[in-house]
Structure 1
């Protein structure tokens, strides 16, 4: 049951984040509650609570610096509640790798890979990179990670 809810939640997040670049509370808050309720029924409430705490905390500092949105933070809390701590950590790291690959594709598309390195080292050539305004759909990347883990039987 949790796997079905997790896949459904991930599919909706994937769509919303790609299309609207937002993950609304009307998706994340009920998903957290569903994860807690279903896990309570299966005797895994503490695991679900720990998963949601881990999910919430991993992006809290980046959120405070304005690097990610609040929807991303709550989406990870929901995935943690639905998956539990261990599968969530696997999904998180795979999602970060997918987001990194997506970021590289954006840089190649804008022909800005050199400019990004120049920007990191504060060279004048990096000014063009700073003006690239491209959001990385982190929620969609995390959703792809969940799909991959379930598809390959590593979660569920």
Structure 2
């Protein structure tokens, strides 16, 4: 599978990495400890079997990071689903229809991950540590794809 991911501008990326460190320093699960060299804050638009037919993505686009919440077992920072972002995700999904993109536009929940597989007893402490964050504004400035088989990234 291949992802289509949007990368944050340097200030927003630093802010997310700071949250990763805040969690780690509090002894909580965090992506700060994920050792793979491709580990980097991003917004995933979709995954697909192939990216053949994906047009160039019109970047940059505005980004607004909102509150922290749980999404399944992942601790995430919400990304405001602006019309521009929804249009971008919908266009990428339509262009890759033959490659079975997921999620469908109506099921997409835009977010930036902070921690994965958070144990149930660590959820409340993690949410408490990151409570009441002010919104963070910036831009998504670049795109990449992560190949889940080879564990490599390619710029888009």
- Greater Cα radius of gyration, structure 1 or 2: 1
Whose RCO is larger (CA < 8 A, sep 6+)?
A: 2
Fold conserved between structures, TM > 0.5: no
Hey, which of these two has a bigger chunk of strand by percent? Answer: 2
Hey, which of these two has a bigger chunk of helix by percent? Answer: 1
* TM-score, scaled relative to structure 2: 0.31
* TM-score, scaled relative to structure 1: 0.31
